[in-house]
Chains A and B, each alone.
Chain A
């Protein structure tokens, strides 16, 4: 291929027209003959033993077709194989306010709700553990462990430690050191589409589940486990998804409940959450307390970073083991920091479960680190951009915790926003109340090691080309609005030298699509994109063989470009794509090609499972060190970003506004620039919510969310969204598809500290507790005065 024709061009999403015209079918749009409405009875207590459940009155209600309780499906599941602690419905006790106790399937929602009111539950209320400090202590007499399977003492879920270099010495010898205690409220994804699932058992006993999910494969696995079926007996269909942000990246109890009710009733059952249920079941970002210290030498070189993160997991494990590591491992850059000490503790409390949310595990520590970095710069009399540039990672380097850095455009990111924002002239020189702040970040382009420790490919893409001239792409990569179907289509079109209108992408059905692990950890463009490129190469070879046969020229000379197959040494020899395809398949049938992706094996001496488990096992791709938890944070590639925010603080009201953000993101190569820009703008918007307004508020110290609706949970509206000037930095990753890296999560990280640091530039206060509400700003200003 000579020049790129499809990738790198802003392309309207291939599913965009369906969405804006209303043609797109979401889970709740689906109706089936005999479809029933499923509803879940939820616990009014944070922690309680279930003594008895009387369902007979509900069962006898006209229009009720099934009633289910926890004992009907007691097998535990969870997204991580090592912490399966969820059940479809509570088996013998409820662990948070909102936990499912029983469920009904009925002809209508009104009947289902009436039936729920007829279920009589007798419970013995148990003392709840609601605060993190309480959870750390040994359990008081008579207090029952929330999850007996969590083996750490007290109500701890996981404790991790990582240490590199001599941190104590570094702090002792430092010219400057700063530290701070940071607090972060829980926040949640709040996608437009609430959870929705339909389940149906076919006459042959196969289970089909339609669900708004980011992880069809993990859902398939969990359904198979809970219903004790071979995996191939479960079909998962992912209809259009109205946003996920990590909120649909676990297999969920309601998905099991729908299947259970369908099994019991013999009819298809739909469960659609109302908004309150979405808040209650949460799986959002962990409430966090972060103690952090940072040191530098007299020249401004960073010497040590110490982090102690305490995170509130709520009632279940979810992705919590990974979160526990990420709060440390994803803080060690994009700066050279020779020594590092991390302790991460995640506790279990009787609160809605926390989970993975955009920027998973990295957001809160990032805020703390970038704030302290500004403070150290101030202490040393350095410019905040300059200290970041001085310490920035170099391309093709290794971090102390074994992250392999390949392409790295962090310097370019900082330089471009510094220039565009007029930083050198403006920062520190704006009137009181106006400020500029910078924040940087980096993020994984997919986790190198999959959740399930096995050798299977992380992505596979199938292609089919027939003599109708159309190209069909099959993959289970979950399009959730981020544009992954479009990326697959672009990669294939580019590889075959054809227009996008020939490409049809099928990513919804686990029966027909080869497995992809799903849309989480910002992995799809990198992994499925690479698989798509390889699949296209396979098919291109077959097409070229046809062209060679027809023209009598050697196959090695052909290129596919502009819907033609051209003999490069003599370009007058060319034929149309369709003619070449027809020649290639007339004696063999439709062309097929597949490609797969597996993170690279960088250290073949170490079998990958050894890193994870500390013992020898099957061989596979490997990288990183051999310390405990070395797998956490490993990625084939990392995105980089730097933002500068202009911030207005009203010193009399404490109200903070962000009129403008300059956002530079190194995504390696923008396969679809307009989609990358959209991701960046969305990240700015979402991160700004966590910085300024969004918070899970618990009513009077209980486990009851006070603001479980979109009026009281303050997502930033468009009226308050800043103008965002996006700069795409293309560092051309050696292993990325066409050089691309992630752009879905990393762009969220820098906006929070950019705002925090901007507030400091505006009015001279350091905000360590998020969200930065006006009352907190005034309190800090009062203290300073």
Chain B
């Protein structure tokens, strides 16, 4: 497989990158971070563009400080950073493989494209079945008749960082802005998020709270390489056995992470019964599609199991 032809730009400042993007917007531009998601897709001729703007040479995007991380920080480098919330460490450690994590960035992970058996295929393969909505085709092959894409949200870091209520900062043609990650994704397998054309993700930040318990649980077939078939990110505040904070997000069961409501449990102890109710409500909220590994019914069945086990672990059970 060879990459399609493109022009590579290597700006050294964010402003320069934003200008370049605006300049070539008409023709088509993409930003390159680690490239571990973008380049395999381009090899498959999926949404490749004539201009590729590498963000690698912009020093400020690599900065890492406590609670504020440059979008270009590699997952591997973050593992060596302290303090790193435990849940974020757990999520990073289950992304892809150690080798890929030396290249993969945190920003790229949050902006990862959605995945589907009908989409992540070679041009030859797609031609044999006819393309789909997400690749300039007329219909969705997973839900015939649907007029939107239901490809699976596959970032491991997003559910956890949403549970931690992380904030994203961007620089774009209209200047800077910040957004809570929780409002960033949108229910559409193609557009996926509210990123504006030409906008660069610069930092990911969160309120550093050492008392916050965080954890991530992932369902996958193999202990390396595999994208999540279910991801559960959780942040929990426990004050003398009572819940002061609980947020729970499910990844890889929809086109965006799904929030499990937990407000009614705040101020209450996290009893087995409470965990069971939360697990059941998580189960009720998801409808996985038949477009990634294992059957949808199995993946759905695993939701309460993984939620329950994670909550018990964070509560301190063994």
Interface, chain A (partner B; CB < 8 A): 42, 44-45, 97, 109-110, 113, 274-276, 652-654, 693, 699, 702, 704, 706, 708, 711-712, 714, 716-720, 773-775, 778
Contact = CB atoms under 8 A, between A and B. Distances in A.
A132 to B, nearest CB: 22
Given A693-B222, A717-B225, A720-B223, A708 B305 contact: no
B295 interface: yes
Nearest to B299: A775
Contacts of A717: 97, 222-225
A693 B124 contact: no
Given A44-B128, A704-B125, A706-B117, A774 B222 contact: no
Nearest to B43: A274
A702 B141 CA distance: 14
Interface in B1-48: 1-2, 5
A712 B293 CA distance: 8
B124 A276 contact: yes
B221 A714 contact: yes
B224 A719 contact: yes
B294 interface: yes
A717 B301 CA distance: 26
Contacts of B227: 711
A275 B124 CA distance: 13
B298 A774 contact: yes
A272 B125 CA distance: 19
21 contacts: A44-B124, A97-B128, A110-B5, A276-B125, A693-B221, A704-B125, A704-B128, A708-B125, A711-B225, A711-B227, A712-B117, A712-B293, A714-B222, A714-B226, A717-B223, A719-B222, A720-B223, A773-B221, A775-B295, A775-B297, A778-B298
Nearest to A717: B224
Nearest to B298: A775
B127 A44 contact: yes
Given A110-B2, A711-B225, A719-B223, A652 B294 contact: no
Contact of A778 (B127, B128, B224, B301): B301
Nearest to A280: B124
A42 B294 contact: no
B194 interface: no
A773 B222 contact: no
Contacts of A711: 225-227
B289 to A, nearest CB: 14
Given A110-B2, A708-B122, A714-B222, 16 more contacts: A42-B124, A44-B128, A45-B128, A274-B1, A652-B305, A653-B305, A693-B222, A699-B129, A704-B125, A704-B128, A711-B225, A712-B117, A716-B222, A717-B222, A718-B224, A720-B222
B195 interface: no
A774 B295 CA distance: 10
A714 B122 CA distance: 18
Contacts of B222: 693, 714, 716-717, 719-720
Given A109-B2, A774-B294, A775-B298, A699 B223 contact: no
Contacts of A778: 298, 301
A42 B97 CA distance: 33
B43 to A, nearest CB: 9
A276 B122 contact: yes
Contacts of A693: 221-222
Contacts of A774: 294, 298
Interface of B: 1-2, 5, 97, 117, 122, 124-125, 127-129, 219, 221-227, 293-295, 297-298, 301-302, 305
B294 A775 contact: yes
B136 to A, nearest CB: 16
B109 to A, nearest CB: 16
Contact of B294 (A97, A110, A704, A773): A773
Nearest to A41: B124
Contacts of B302: 653
A586 B221 CA distance: 66
A720 B124 CA distance: 32
Contacts of A275: 1
Contacts, number: 63
A758 B144 CA distance: 42
A652 B217 CA distance: 15
A180 to B, nearest CB: 23
Which 4 interchain pairs have the tightest Cβ spacing? Answer: A775-B298, A719-B223, A44-B128, A717-B224
Contacts of B122: 276, 708
A276 B43 CA distance: 13
B235 to A, nearest CB: 24
A99 to B, nearest CB: 12
B179 to A, nearest CB: 31
Contacts of A714: 221-222, 226, 293
A44 B128 CA distance: 5
B129 A704 contact: yes
A54 B55 CA distance: 45
Contacts of A44: 124, 127-128
A238 B39 CA distance: 33
Contacts of B225: 711, 717
A435 to B, nearest CB: 20
A778 B219 CA distance: 15
Contacts of A716: 222
A775 B219 CA distance: 12
Nearest to B229: A774
A121 B270 CA distance: 66
B110 to A, nearest CB: 20
Nearest to B1: A274
A706 B294 CA distance: 13
Contacts of B226: 711, 714
Contacts of B223: 717, 719-720
Contacts of A45: 128
Contacts of B124: 42, 44, 276
Which residue, A97, A708, A711, has most C-beta atoms of chain B within 10 A? A711
A110 B295 CA distance: 38
A113 B223 CA distance: 36
Contacts of A42: 124
Contacts of B224: 717-720
Contact of B117 (A654, A699, A718, A720): A699
Contacts of B129: 699, 702, 704
A775 B221 CA distance: 11
Nearest to A46: B128
A653 B124 CA distance: 36
B121 to A, nearest CB: 8
Contacts of A718: 224
A717 B294 CA distance: 18
A274 B225 CA distance: 20
A659 to B, nearest CB: 12
A276 B2 CA distance: 13
A486 B302 CA distance: 49
B222 to A, nearest CB: 5
A712 B227 CA distance: 10
A704 B124 CA distance: 11
A723 to B, nearest CB: 15
Contacts of A699: 117, 129
Which residue, B1, B127, B128, has most C-beta atoms of chain A within 10 A? B128
A718 B222 CA distance: 10
A778 B300 CA distance: 13
Contacts of B128: 44-45, 97, 704
B173 to A, nearest CB: 34
A711 B298 CA distance: 20
Nearest to B129: A704
Contacts of A702: 129
A122 to B, nearest CB: 16
A719 B98 CA distance: 11
Nearest to A705: B125
Contacts of B1: 274-275
A602 B283 CA distance: 68
Nearest to B305: A652
A601 to B, nearest CB: 50
B135 to A, nearest CB: 15
